[in-house]
Amino acid sequence: MSEQINAVVVMLRALVNGNLDLLRANEKEIRGIMSNPISDERSTSLSQHYKYSRSLLAENSDYLRLQTELIQFLAKYRKVIDNKQHPEVNSEPIKQVQPKKHNAISEPVNVEEPTVMPSRVEIPEMLTSEKVFELTVNGQMEFSQSHPYFYDNEFAKELLDYYTQVENYEMCARIVELKGRL
């Protein structure tokens, strides 16, 4: 089961990246529209483009939330899941998951090792908002539009509070510049 969950996480990541590409293309179109003289047509077009961007951002937010939940589920229950599928495997957590192909869900799982190893996909450790916060303030994770909590205003407020307390006003200004008024 962990292989299927891993495949869903990889698929969700691809969907997020695809939406980011669409957002970038939409942003270019918006910039082009902004160069046109002010008119009702321009306003209508901008409104439609902004609405499209908001829908893509909402979709990405859902994808990222689901990705996080699946990764947390795997981190929490991986031993149980893997031991039920492979009882002869020791109880240490497995760092990588090997995808398997099955024709039907009801088909029994073949526990023999394949002769050719398929590519392996690494599942990151469980990232709670606290862990992401820690990584962000330590400079190991950049706070940008690709940040997992970029669209979470509460998270951004916590960052602002932290950077205000440590008197890092450059980071406060950067967050405000990226996010606008919170």
pLDDT value at residue 29: 92
Q: What residues contact 104, with CB distance under 8 A and at least 6 apart?
A: none
User: Which residue, 135, 80, 137, 85, is CA-closest to 108?
Assistant: 85
Q: Using one digit for the tens of pLDDT, what is the confidence trace for 100-137?
A: 443 333 333 333 333 333 333 333 455 677 888 888 88
pTM metric for this prediction:
0.45
Mean pLDDT for 84-112 is 43
Mean pLDDT for 5-23 is 89
pLDDT at 97 over 70: no
Domain coordinates in residue numbering, the chain:
2-122, 129-179
Mean pLDDT for 34-51 is 91
